[in-house]
A and B are shown apart, each in its own frame.
Chain A
Amino acid sequence: MMIQETRRTAPTAATAPIANAIAVASGKGGVGKTWLSITLAHALANLSRRTVLIDGDLGLANVDIQLGLAPELDLADVLDNNVPLAQAAQRHEPTGLDIVAGRSGVASLATLSPARLTSFGRGIADLSGRYDRVLIDLGAGVERPVRYLAGAAQRTIVVTNDEPTSLTDAYALIKLLMQDGAKTKVSVVVNAAASKAEGERTYKTLAKACDTFLKMTPPLLGVVRRDPKVREAIRAQAPLLTRHPSSEAARDVEAIAQQLAQAS
């Protein structure tokens, strides 16, 4: 599948989204996007889905930090030096994932030039043929490049927690994707919820805003409970599913992975 080349400026949406790609976005940072991307990808790998995780959070690359990787190649090599994505994707044995690491302190996706953005999108499309699932951690922000990559994926998971800033930014992202006419299926994950019921309440708040102002309602993909084991695993730079396989957060993420493992 190819992403259409757009000549003039940053393109908005690919003509046909990449069928097995899942973008993880949030608008606001710090809501657990990176952790969720890693854990979801891990859960998918555990379900025998060949999975690659791309850390698109260039500004604050943290897949490598959360997992304690020391990548030889990373996304900056892909974007700056034309290293093919497939070559930058490195096997992470503990999880069975292939990972394209980001790099801290370099340019963010938000300022990627249109030409490089399109070629990055094309690279993801090419890479997607080798895997069952491609997960992309888009990092924070609602800028056009973030939306472009979301639009290039069949699915976009918008992650929020119950804070007003997070809800507002999640809403802004959904609205802009809609205005772009992005052909991605948007669904919501409420992360770090005090309980399942609290998480559903948070979802309903966001859903009501979308329904009232946008006349559309993105479905709830799942609620992940707040769990001290998450922080503990991140501190230890160990995947949650290995370290605390029966923790609440692990089970919540696995339930979401079950849905994503089905044909999209």
Chain B
Amino acid sequence: MRLRTFTAPSISEAMRQVRAALGEDAVILSTEQVGKQVKLTAAIESARSVAATATAPAAGDDIETALHYHSVPRALADRLLATAGELEGGSPQQVLTAALRARFDFRPLTDHKPGRPILLAGLPGAGKSATLAKLAARAKVNGWAATAITCDLAKAGAIEQLATYARALEIPAYRAKDAATLRRAVAKTETSDLTLIDTLGTNPLKAGDLAQLREWAEAAGAEIVLVMAAGGDVIESAELAAAYAEAGATRLVATKVDVARRYGGILAAAEAGRLAFAGLGTSPEIASGLAALRADQLCRLILPASRAETRTTGASDNKSLSGTA
């Protein structure tokens, strides 16, 4: 519920302010004459809040409610809650951040120059090419020399797309049609600080696809990083991650976070594949680069900052506050 008070010389003026601030659905809770002024108290309740379980975690909610909302698998939620239980003290945000840090690995791709090429793998449409471009953009900011190689030959326009990104970012781009050409392309990138390899969208249900992925990674001497869109089905995400981990993936970049609301899938994926969190795609903008994904960012996705915190920092406006919307 959002509740606000309005003071105006007349009731109609006060009503106008209510409509302007809270919209047509506002309910007048009380009216009062204060001297020559009229004081109105009005509120709105968002429709979303009617169904308890469909309510996005609101500030002030607890960790358990949030994990439930995100459909974090039971066993994982239990482990996080158990860890959180050991960490009493601090806000729910602090506790959950600490629990996530204890349960997961966080190794952002943009923190250090990786010792070997990075091979981006994942389902078709997971956001591999955009991730490559964002990583390259970030590498530029870091002052690293980056190189792009694509193995994504099957997809129409893949090479053109890469060429466009590469030109915009002024980095060399190569193409590889098989493991042998990939090996030769990587050999040419000796002076590169960050070699990024884009792959064909793999079908992890096909043993052949995963075998090919492994073959490429070996040929390139590359680390496999799984690129996965957030918001996917929890079990599906976990199974996918396990399959890619089987093929050698060790880190996870979560993409399309801006167009998802539930993040249980990426948590389940990291857990099932024992993948370290490596990055976060939060917008379609290439130039914004890939955000590092650390425990506190992950926590913020799951549990928004609390009202208690805004209150103690004095940031809240005491005339208007959102309740459990």
Chain B residues numbered 286-325 whose CB sits less than 8 Å from any CB in chain A: 308, 311, 316, 318-324
Identify which of B84-92, B114-122, B232-240 touches chain A.
B84-92
Question: Does B17 interact with chain A (Cβ within 8 Å)?
Answer: no
Inside 8 A of B105's CB, which chain A residues have their CB?
none
Chain B, interface residues (CB within 8 Å), range: 35 or more
Which chain A residue lies CB-closest to B308?
A141
Cβ 8 A contact of B41, one of A142, A164, A165, A179: A164
**How far, in angstroms, from A176 to B64 measured CA to CA in the complex?**
14
Identify which of B24-32, B146-154, B172-180, B275-283 touches chain A.
B24-32
**How far, in angstroms, from A141 to B91 measured CA to CA in the complex?**
11
Identify which of A82-90, A113-121, A220-228, A239-247 touches chain B.
A113-121
The answer on a CB contact under 8 Å between B30 and A205 is: yes
The answer on a CB contact under 8 Å between A167 and B62 is: no
**How far, in angstroms, from A137 to B103 measured CA to CA in the complex?**
34
Question: Does B123 interact with chain A (Cβ within 8 Å)?
Answer: no
Identify which of A13-21, A42-50, A207-215 touches chain B.
A207-215
CB distance from B186 to the nearest CB of A (A): 48
**How far, in angstroms, from A8 to B92 measured CA to CA in the complex?**
19
Identify which of B75-83, B126-134, B135-143 touches chain A.
B75-83
**How far, in angstroms, from A163 to B316 measured CA to CA in the complex?**
13
The answer on a CB contact under 8 Å between B89 and A107 is: yes
The answer on a CB contact under 8 Å between A113 and B82 is: yes
Please count the residue pairs between chain A and chain B whose beta carbons lie under 8 angstroms apart in the complex: 109
**How far, in angstroms, from A204 to B77 measured CA to CA in the complex?**
41
The answer on a CB contact under 8 Å between A164 and B320 is: yes
Cβ 8 A contact of B86, one of A9, A10, A113, A176: A113
CB distance from A134 to the nearest CB of B (A): 24
The answer on a CB contact under 8 Å between B62 and A10 is: yes
CB distance from B41 to the nearest CB of A (A): 5
Question: Does B52 interact with chain A (Cβ within 8 Å)?
Answer: yes
Question: Does A111 interact with chain B (Cβ within 8 Å)?
Answer: yes
Cβ 8 A contact of A9, one of B32, B61, B77, B308: B77
The answer on a CB contact under 8 Å between B89 and A111 is: yes
**How far, in angstroms, from A106 to B88 measured CA to CA in the complex?**
8
Question: Does B60 interact with chain A (Cβ within 8 Å)?
Answer: yes
Name the residue among B29, B32, B45, B322 with the largest chain A CB count within 10 angstroms.
B29
The answer on a CB contact under 8 Å between B321 and A111 is: no
The answer on a CB contact under 8 Å between B81 and A168 is: no
Given contacts A8-B78, A164-B318, A167-B3, contact A141 B60 (CB under 8 A): yes
Q: Produce 1/0 per residue, A120-154, CB < 8 A to B.
A: 00000000000000000000111111000000000
The answer on a CB contact under 8 Å between A142 and B324 is: yes
**How far, in angstroms, from A71 to B86 measured CA to CA in the complex?**
26
Given contacts A143-B92, A168-B1, contact A208 B30 (CB under 8 A): yes
Inside 8 A of B322's CB, which chain A residues have their CB?
168
Which chain B residue lies CB-closest to A8?
B78
30 A–B contact pairs at CB < 8 A? Answer: A8-B78, A9-B64, A107-B89, A108-B89, A111-B88, A111-B89, A112-B88, A113-B82, A114-B64, A141-B60, A142-B61, A142-B324, A143-B60, A144-B64, A144-B65, A164-B3, A164-B5, A164-B41, A164-B321, A165-B316, A165-B321, A168-B3, A168-B322, A171-B1, A171-B3, A171-B323, A172-B1, A205-B29, A205-B30, A209-B1
